[in-house]
């Protein structure tokens, strides 16, 4: 069960009106600018004109050393290897630097490690191979900051290493010729949130010297920078915003055969690209070839100057993406089955699941799915023999990297950032790792933060117009720290639910104050929708312009939905209290009293379920319809556990739907003999 917090941004209507009046902007756009924190003319000018966003690359620590070593290698025609990574950020970084160095006349090659066989970053076998090929200088892109031992080994082989990376460094830096990473504690570069491809772009700018023509460099490389920056989900402010803003038009009208072929395969040819559809079309396809096959094909695609070769590579990469989706679905189902078989895992602060020979290339995506389903950090582990590899995703406000560092003695390799991390360990350490990472989460002074739906503002359904999404478009590109606007439609009565798209999606008709709104809920079948006609709900929606038969229409897409009467904070507290019981943690006497159902409440609940012939909607809707003044969510969940334990009902949870069926009863049942209630009492005694 994932109880999300809904947060509405503050709005100063007077200040928004002043922006509209002084800058002659439409009132809705002025309101959005005020909400997003652009309050002055200088703020707004900086948002819409990013030409002055780029700082001097030599402000980065070690950039001068990196440039000097690379220029020496170019001048002496040394063999340079651009050593990249297998995701979209690493692939675009590799293609960018390789292309630039080749244009400088360098003797350059590239290397992308195989995810399954070699894993992330530098590895000893690859260094041996590159040594045999005569490589004298390795320049890493989007990796290397954690390669302490590997850099020492490269030096022993006579290979110099220049590291460019954007991941968080550990306490010790590699002993490379240069370590360029804005997250170094001694790096004073003003913009810290660059992706790997962003750091690579800064390196190229520095190699161009003081007279670097930023405009020309953007024309040559901003398309690659946009894909890598969007793909790495970094903050779309400052320099990242400038790179993506410059790159999107180049992608939409690309002269790169590889990009054209990929867009054609994704049915996006001729369309104006946004950061959102880049994230859902180009990025997953480039990522897929690293997850399923060899990412050097993606680099070759981006570098290709032959359309026939590009078409072949694009077809292979899109086939990899289809394969990735199938494998991802299979592993997700196995992970959810493990949680069903061992439900205690679902109630832990960090969900950890493991399976034998799960494909390493997709476990990160599976972790994202689990985190989204349950609203908690998750780690998905794949083990083969004595070795286990894992990938994790987090929720805003919980640093997964810090949690992983706490478990470092159990790990052989790890890295990442607050929202995502990867790691390796001996298989025998999996159980201890699961325990230790949850002990770390429990030791923090605050509870695990819930997932938050950030609403820009509430909208009156009667005020919805097609001009709204058109004005929103001025705020593009959207991404981290500048998300696509989400709006609240509150107190809407659900009037009609219609399956569409072969039953895979829903069209909802809702009404408030005689205004009707049609909304679309994607990837939700009717049997998985937890609400009923007549329910009063709040919607979190996005707005888009849809063109059909040369006519523009307003499309309203549902991002989330909840019952209007629900107090999210109280509901979350109630559910956290229930989770404490499921984890076997101590309760105060007050908590015990609050959660223990009495005889009348048991009777009323059972009568309601019997009269309703069970239940198969949202658990909070059941709580509301019971209309029992003393019944809380935690008490209801405990009461249902007791009824199930005493063989009176069958209960399963499927997303937000609670499915309850009544079982035949022979004779009287003493509910207060239930082991569930005895466990509850023991927790108080233990406390």
What number of other Cβ atoms are within 10 A of residue 82's Cβ?
A: 28
Per-residue pLDDT, 687 = 45
Per-residue pLDDT, 51 = 66
The predicted-structure confidence for 276-296, as pLDDT tens digits, reads as follows: 999 999 999 999 988 887 889
| Contacting residues for 247 by C-beta, under 8 A, at least 6 apart | 218, 222, 223, 224, 225, 226, 227, 229
Per-residue pLDDT, 685 = 57
pTM of the model: 0.83
Which residues, in sequence order, are bridge partners of residue 649? 662
The predicted-structure confidence for 434-474, as pLDDT tens digits, reads as follows: 999 999 999 999 889 998 999 999 999 999 999 999 999 99
What does the DSSP 8-state code read for residue 683?
Answer: H
Q: Is 62 left (phi over 0), alpha (psi -120 to 50) or beta?
A: left
b/e map of 56-70 (b: 16 or more CB within 10 Å)? ebeebbbbeebbebb
Per-residue pLDDT, 56 = 95
Q: How many Å apart are CA 629 and CA 636, to the nearest integer? A: 12
Phi, then psi, of 393 in degrees rounded to 5:
-130, 155
Cβ–Cβ under 8 Å, residues 478 and 226: no
Q: Average pLDDT, stretch 172-183?
A: 96
Q: How many Å apart are CA 52 and CA 45, to the nearest integer? A: 11
Cβ–Cβ under 8 Å, residues 552 and 545: yes
Cβ–Cβ under 8 Å, residues 164 and 187: no
Q: Helices 13-23 and 41-48 meet at what angle, rounded to 10?
A: 70
The predicted-structure confidence for 376-427, as pLDDT tens digits, reads as follows: 999 999 999 999 999 999 998 999 999 999 999 999 988 877 888 999 999 9
pLDDT at 676 over 80: yes
What would the two tokens of residue 683 be? 């927790």
The predicted-structure confidence for 20-70, as pLDDT tens digits, reads as follows: 999 999 999 999 999 999 888 888 888 887 667 799 999 999 999 999 999
Nearest Cα neighbor of 451 from 84, 1, 2 is 2
Percentage of the chain with pLDDT > 90? 79
The predicted-structure confidence for 576-618, as pLDDT tens digits, reads as follows: 999 999 999 998 889 898 999 999 999 999 999 999 999 999 9
- Return the SS3 of 435: helix
Radius of gyration over every alpha carbon of the chain, rounded to an integer in angstroms: 28
Mean pLDDT of the chain: 93
Q: Which residue has the higher pLDDT, 318 or 295?
A: 318
pLDDT at 189 over 90: yes
477 cis-preceded (ω within 30 degrees of 0)? yes
Per-residue pLDDT, 34 = 95
- Return the SS3 of 504: coil
Per-residue pLDDT, 604 = 95
Q: Average pLDDT, stretch 647-652?
A: 93
Place of tokens 């439409």: 26
Per-residue pLDDT, 668 = 86
Residue ranges of domains in the chain, CATH in brackets: 53-221 (3.90.1640.30), 342-443 (3.10.310.30), 456-563 (2.40.50.460), 583-686 (1.10.10)
pLDDT at 105 over 60: yes
Per-residue pLDDT, 526 = 93
What would the two tokens of residue 10 be? 């503050």
Per-residue pLDDT, 418 = 86
Query: CA distances (Å), 431 to each of 19, 428, 478, in order?
Result: 57, 7, 40
The predicted-structure confidence for 486-522, as pLDDT tens digits, reads as follows: 999 999 999 999 999 999 999 999 999 999 999 999 9
The predicted-structure confidence for 364-378, as pLDDT tens digits, reads as follows: 999 999 999 999 999
Q: Average pLDDT, stretch 630-645?
A: 94
């Amino acid at each position: 069960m994932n109880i999300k917090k809904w947060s509405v941004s503050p709005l100063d209507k007077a200040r928004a009106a002043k922006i509209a009046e002084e800058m002659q902007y439409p009132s809705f756009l002025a309101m959005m600018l005020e909400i997003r924190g652009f309050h002055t003319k200088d703020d707004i000018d900086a948002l819409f004109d990013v030409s002055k966003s780029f700082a001097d690359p030599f402000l980065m620590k070690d950039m001068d050393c990196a440039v000097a070593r690379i220029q020496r290698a170019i001048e002496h025609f040394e063999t340079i290897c651009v050593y990249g990574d297998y995701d979209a950020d690493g692939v675009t970084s590799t293609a960018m630097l390789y292309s630039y160095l080749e244009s400088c006349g360098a003797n350059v090659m590239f290397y992308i490690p195989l995810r399954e066989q070699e894993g992330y970053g530098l590895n000893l076998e690859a260094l041996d191979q590159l040594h045999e090929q005569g490589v004298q200088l390795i320049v890493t892109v989007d990796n290397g900051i954690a390669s302490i031992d590997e850099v020492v080994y490269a030096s022993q082989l006579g290979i110099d290493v220049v590291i460019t990376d954007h991941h968080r460094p550990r306490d010790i830096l590699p002993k490379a010729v240069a370590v360029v990473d804005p997250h170094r504690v001694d790096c004073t570069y003003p913009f810290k949130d660059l992706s790997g491809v962003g750091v690579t772009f800064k390196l190229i700018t520095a190699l161009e010297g003081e007279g670097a023509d930023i405009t020309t460099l953007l024309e040559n490389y901003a398309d690659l920078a946009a894909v890598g920056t969007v793909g790495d989900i970094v903050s779309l402010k400052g320099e990242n915003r400038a790179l993506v803003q410059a790159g999107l038009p180049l992608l939409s009208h690309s002269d790169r055969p590889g990009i054209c072929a990929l867009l054609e395969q994704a049915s996006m040819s001729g369309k104006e690209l946004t950061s959102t559809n880049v994230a859902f079309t180009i990025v997953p396809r480039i990522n897929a070839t690293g997850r399923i096959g060899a990412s050097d094909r993606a680099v070759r695609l981006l570098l290709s100057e032959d359309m026939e070769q590009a078409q072949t590579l694009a077809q292979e990469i899109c086939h990899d993406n289809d394969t990735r989706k199938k494998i991802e679905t299979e592993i997700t189902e196995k992970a959810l089955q493990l949680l069903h078989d061992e439900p205690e895992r679902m109630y832990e602060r960090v969900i950890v699941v493991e399976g034998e020979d799960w494909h390493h290339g997709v476990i990160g995506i599976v972790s994202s799915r689990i985190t989204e389903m349950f609203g908690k950090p998750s780690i998905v582990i794949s083990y083969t023999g004595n070795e286990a590899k894992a990938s994790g995703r987090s929720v805003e406000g919980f640093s997964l990297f810090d949690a992983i560092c706490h478990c470092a003695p159990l790990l052989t390799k790890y890295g990442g950032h607050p929202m995502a991390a990867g790691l390796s360990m001996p298989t025998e350490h999996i159980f201890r790792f699961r325990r230790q990472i949850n002990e770390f989460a429990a030791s923090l002074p605050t509870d695990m933060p819930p997932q938050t739906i950030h609403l820009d503002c509430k909208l009156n359904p009667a005020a919805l117009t097609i001009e709204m999404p058109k004005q929103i478009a001025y705020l593009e590109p959207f991404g981290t720290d500048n998300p696509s606007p989400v709006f609240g439609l509150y107190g809407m009565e659900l009037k009609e639910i219609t399956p569409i798209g072969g039953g895979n999606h829903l069209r909802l008709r809702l009404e408030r104050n005689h205004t009707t709104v049609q909304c679309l809920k994607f990837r939700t079948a009717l049997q998985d929708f937890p609400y009923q006609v007549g329910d009063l709900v709040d919607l979190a929606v996005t707005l888009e312009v849809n063109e059909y038969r040369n006519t523009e229409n307003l499309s309203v897409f549902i991002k989330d939905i909840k019952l209007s009467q629900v107090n999210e904070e109280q509901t979350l507290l109630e559910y956290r209290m229930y989770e404490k019981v499921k984890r076997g943690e101590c309760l105060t006497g007050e908590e015990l009293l609050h959660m223990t159902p009495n005889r009348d409440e048991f009777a009323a609940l059972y009568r309601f379920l019997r009269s309703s012939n069970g239940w198969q909607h949202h658990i909070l809707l059941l709580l509301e319809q019971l209309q029992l003044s003393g019944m809380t969510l935690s008490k209801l969940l405990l009461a249902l556990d007791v009824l199930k334990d005493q063989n009176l009902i069958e209960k399963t949870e499927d997303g937000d739907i609670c499915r309850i069926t009544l079982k035949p009863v022979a004779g009287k049942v003493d509910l207060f003999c239930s082991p569930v209630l005895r466990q509850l009492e023991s927790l108080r005694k233990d406390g």
